[in-house]
Structure 1
Amino acid sequence: MTLTRRWMMKGAGALAASAALPPSILHAAQSDFKPVKLPPPISREERMARLARARELMQRNGIGAVLVESGPSLDYFTGIQWWRSERLTGVVIPAQGDPIIVTPFFEKPSIEEMLLVPAEIRTWQEDEEPLKLVADFLKECGVANQPVGFEETNRFWIEDRLKRQLPSASIVSANPVVRQLRMIKTPAELALLQAANDIMLASMRYAGERTKEGMTGADIDALIAAAQEKLGGVYDPGLALIGEASAYPHGSKKPHVVKRGDIVLMDCTCSVHGYQADITRTFVFGADPTPEQRKVFDQVHRGQQIAMAAAKVGAPAGSVDDAVRRTYESWGYGPGYKLPGTSHRTGHGIGMEVHEPVNLVHGETTPLAPGMCFSNEPGIYIPGKFGVRIEDCWHMTEAGPKFFTSPPPSIDDPFGPPS
């Protein structure tokens, strides 16, 4: 299991808190939801097209082969969904020809079940060196003296041990291949992202409408999980921040329970066939918003609109963050990332991972291009008091940016109409 910021903040005992909720509260009836049609998983044909495109990019960039270990990029190319451990499972993609999968001998049956592209599976025993299999394959392909691209999240020990087997190996970044491909989503990927966002927003609306006085963040999160189970999404426990905790983007370890007039901030994710949604909604529980709460909500709502207006094809990704921050500074926040104000970037890339390159952050020069997907979350935080974050994901089209979900119209209607 991958550790996430949400798991880190919730702590080991937080999930047990939901046991105090009555079953009637946790039970989500199918009639409570409009069904969300789930697109099919990424096809074998699309993965083979990815490999073909990867080979083109390797040849263009002078890379002889690319090594990708377990993680989202391995799934992206091969369909193999595998965790990272001290035992190497990965794919070696040569600039010409079919790839190989390297995995422990005893894992071969499991890997064969998942493999969706033509590739030979080469196994190693517990007393053997898996990187020797990689080095031998590079020699067979005639690329041992050419640069080997490493996916950017590969661990250091893989490079270190490959160089022991192949001292002449030149290790380079595989970003011109792997990142370049994964940043630009295809129609099939966009359809999966849309379904994940639809499920996520419906689940948050369900939980928000059933939040009651005295609930904890874990209680609210349990409602979201119950809703997602009915809708067909895969849920990663999220953040439900109450009162002052909402002033800290990833929450507080201090216990908080819902009281009338409290800000409640829900930041949650959902996946459909491996593609992620990330949405945040903020509302005031059981009372009219104070003038300050309303003002900050309206400013964040405006911040989202400013971000979308700045997101133009060819513009540097960082210019979106700059546009929001300039306006916030004119309202007295900051300057820059200082508080009170927006202490984090305006958004992050999203796809098979909740956070993936590139980010909408000052200094990021990557040009925005059709097919790129991001979050839009220019929250404002006032330490010691409260914070407001509204987050919706969007993708770039030839005509400009397009939201997957509609932002809420106001603090009085914090979830907007059902889709």
Structure 2
Amino acid sequence: MPTRRNFLLSSAAAAAAAPTLALAAQSSQPEKLPPAIAALTNRHAEAVPITLAEREQRLERARALMHQNNIDAIVITTGTSLTYFTGLRWGQSERFFAWTLPATGAPFIVCPVFEEGRVRERMESKPATLPSASTTRVYTWNEDEDPYQLLAKALNESGLATCKIGIEERTQFVFADGIAHASAALTITSATPVTSGCRSIKSPAELALMQLANNITLAVYKACYQSAQPGMTNRQFSQMVDLAYTRCGVTGDASCQVGEYSALPHGSLQPQVIQEGEIILIDDGCTVEGYQSDISRTFVLGDPTIPKLDKARKVFDIVLKAQSAALAAAHPGAPCHTIDAAARDLIAAAGYGPDYKYFTHRLGHGIGMDGHEWPYLVRGNTTPLAASMCFSDEPGIYLPGEFGVRLEDDWHVTEDGGKMFTPQSPSLEHPFGKI
């Protein structure tokens, strides 16, 4: 753990830290790393991928939701929802590529003719990832042809000449517009009731991956906290986090904001230097088999008894109580907005209101394969919580020109209430408990 004695060491040590870490990253020699980071181990083998059987179940869940919402088919072009349902990872392009799932019948793919080989390679891969691959038909179009007319033809051959099509929310406008004008017999609507309806309820396999991602992030943060030095820049700290994630066998990152810049919830581009007694706010997470973590910690290095930190300690305690209040308000059936209100009301009552004045953002967001996804813990959202939904819980108080404090942990809804994936941060001086 960083101490006042460490802070009294020459800041030249920090100036040397970045090249040392860079050398260690290039050479993969643990002896060149700070001991706490060198002690991290590769945890990739702990991750159990999502199975083909689970993806088949996702298709059945999607079809049930399509029937409930009077949607005849959903069209997904690229992005996270495509990977969620099919296991395919397909880069965004100006060329139309779409996987379509009818409420009744087999799915089909529309793609450029020169991509058919790549599509079929993935359909036939071992282990298999694409559900219903044996019955999935591939329609191809040449560069001088209209892919949207081809989509309309494929729908017609699936018995959906006249139908309501759900478009995934992150579909490029040019694609959504092309689908909308492909046929006067097609009606366009949002696919969010289906895609979010599936993705917002996590399976035990998904929860296990998210637990691992959160465990790794907390271990990385702790190791980097133990390795921080006076005079280190915020960018050097972030680079150290990147390297620590590499040691763990995953990809991840963290922003680092110091002093007055911690009052900006998403930080500043200004170069910053870590000093004794300055607030440090770190945020972000890692990805494990496509599932994400998102954790924030606020702490100080050096002598914890510095008088100027008295105000920061009081603010930290308020934010910690607000985080706990939000978690305590969570249970199946509770509207999303009540979780935000539990934290916001406590912060306002402690003198940091009204409303969004110092707690400037919503209480939290859904999380899973995307860092931010449906549903959101925000005023006005009446969506009821359900077991196995996952969220961030991240209240904050931001004092412009002074400092900001945010505490963020991910959690999931159980039949008995909310449950954190990771322990809450107990104090400004001991963000990971006494070490």
Do the aligned residues in 2 keep the contact of 1:300 with 1:379 (CA within 8 Å)? Answer: yes
Do the aligned residues in 1 keep the contact of 2:331 with 2:415 (CA within 8 Å)? Answer: no
Matched residue, 1:302: 321
Do the aligned residues in 2 keep the contact of 1:262 with 1:285 (CA within 8 Å)? Answer: yes
Alignment pair present for 1:319 and 2:326: no
Matched residue, 2:94: 86
What is the alpha-carbon distance in structure 2 between the residues aligned to residue 417 and residue 140 of structure 1?
65
**SS of the residue aligned with 1:165?**
coil
Against the structure 1 CA distance between its residues 149 and 398, is the aligned structure 2 distance closer, same or farther, given a 3 Å change threshold? same
Report the CA distance between 1:81 and its aligned residue. Answer: 1.0
What is the alpha-carbon distance in structure 2 between the residues aligned to residue 384 and residue 226 of structure 1?
31
Alignment pair present for 1:64 and 2:72: yes
Report the CA distance between 1:19 and its aligned residue. Answer: 5.1
**SS of the residue aligned with 2:294?**
strand
What is the alpha-carbon distance in structure 2 between the residues aligned to residue 308 and residue 107 of structure 1?
47
What is the alpha-carbon distance in structure 1 between the residues aligned to residue 52 and residue 255 of structure 2?
35
Do the aligned residues in 2 keep the contact of 1:192 with 1:272 (CA within 8 Å)? Answer: yes
1:17-416, aligned counterparts within 5 Å? 21=21, 23=23, 27=33, 32-33=39-40, 36=43, 38-115=46-123, 116-117=130-131, 118=133, 119-235=136-252, 237-288=253-304, 290-338=309-357, 341-416=358-433
**SS of the residue aligned with 2:219?**
helix
Instruction: State TM-score, norm by structure 1.
Output: 0.90
Do the aligned residues in 2 keep the contact of 1:26 with 1:226 (CA within 8 Å)? Answer: no
Name the aligned partner's letter for residue 32 of structure 1.
Answer: A
Report the CA distance between 1:366 and its aligned residue. Answer: 0.3
Against the structure 1 CA distance between its residues 159 and 26, is the aligned structure 2 distance closer, same or farther, given a 3 Å change threshold? farther
Report the CA distance between 1:75 and its aligned residue. Answer: 0.3
What is the alpha-carbon distance in structure 1 between the residues aligned to residue 87 and residue 175 of structure 2?
21
Against the structure 1 CA distance between its residues 251 and 26, is the aligned structure 2 distance closer, same or farther, given a 3 Å change threshold? farther
Against the structure 1 CA distance between its residues 28 and 259, is the aligned structure 2 distance closer, same or farther, given a 3 Å change threshold? closer
What is the alpha-carbon distance in structure 1 between the residues aligned to residue 85 and residue 241 of structure 2?
31
**SS of the residue aligned with 2:254?**
strand
What is the alpha-carbon distance in structure 1 between the residues aligned to residue 394 and residue 180 of structure 2?
42
Instruction: Work out the number of aligned pairs and report it.
Output: 399
Against the structure 1 CA distance between its residues 128 and 406, is the aligned structure 2 distance closer, same or farther, given a 3 Å change threshold? same
> Residue deviations 1:228-269, cap 9 Å, x none?
11212221x331111111010011122211111111111022
Against the structure 1 CA distance between its residues 218 and 106, is the aligned structure 2 distance closer, same or farther, given a 3 Å change threshold? farther
Name the aligned partner's letter for residue 370 of structure 1.
Answer: A
Against the structure 1 CA distance between its residues 212 and 335, is the aligned structure 2 distance closer, same or farther, given a 3 Å change threshold? same
Unaligned runs of 5+ in 2: 1-16, 25-30, 124-129
Bigger shift: residues 373-382 or 53-62: 53-62
What is the alpha-carbon distance in structure 1 between the residues aligned to residue 434 and residue 92 of structure 2?
41
The percentage of counterpart residues that share the same residue type is 44
Instruction: State TM-score, norm by structure 2.
Output: 0.87
What is the alpha-carbon distance in structure 2 between the residues aligned to residue 62 and residue 405 of structure 1?
40
Bigger shift: residues 24-33 or 287-296: 24-33
Do the aligned residues in 2 keep the contact of 1:72 with 1:353 (CA within 8 Å)? Answer: yes
Structure with bigger RCO (C-alpha 8 Å, 6+ apart): 2
Against the structure 1 CA distance between its residues 180 and 58, is the aligned structure 2 distance closer, same or farther, given a 3 Å change threshold? same
What is the alpha-carbon distance in structure 2 between the residues aligned to residue 102 and residue 372 of structure 1?
32
Unaligned runs of 5+ in 1: 1-16
**SS of the residue aligned with 2:369?**
coil
Report the CA distance between 1:21 and its aligned residue. Answer: 5.0
Do the aligned residues in 1 keep the contact of 2:319 with 2:347 (CA within 8 Å)? Answer: no
Against the structure 1 CA distance between its residues 112 and 413, is the aligned structure 2 distance closer, same or farther, given a 3 Å change threshold? farther
> Residue deviations 1:272-326, cap 9 Å, x none?
0100000011111222151111111111111110001111210100101111111
> Residue deviations 1:191-246, cap 9 Å, x none?
110111111111111111111112122111111111111212221x3311111110
Do the aligned residues in 1 keep the contact of 2:210 with 2:293 (CA within 8 Å)? Answer: yes
Name the aligned partner's letter for residue 330 of structure 1.
Answer: A
Do the aligned residues in 2 keep the contact of 1:50 with 1:77 (CA within 8 Å)? Answer: yes
CA RMSD in angstroms, aligned pairs only: 2.0
Q: Give 1 or 2 for the bigger CA radius of gyration.
A: 2
Name the aligned partner's letter for residue 281 of structure 2.
Answer: L
Do the aligned residues in 2 keep the contact of 1:81 with 1:114 (CA within 8 Å)? Answer: no
**SS of the residue aligned with 1:331?**
helix
What is the alpha-carbon distance in structure 1 between the residues aligned to residue 212 and residue 198 of structure 2?
22
What is the alpha-carbon distance in structure 2 between the residues aligned to residue 355 and residue 253 of structure 1?
22
Against the structure 1 CA distance between its residues 133 and 385, is the aligned structure 2 distance closer, same or farther, given a 3 Å change threshold? same
What is the alpha-carbon distance in structure 2 between the residues aligned to residue 26 and residue 121 of structure 1?
52
Name the aligned partner's letter for residue 285 of structure 1.
Answer: L
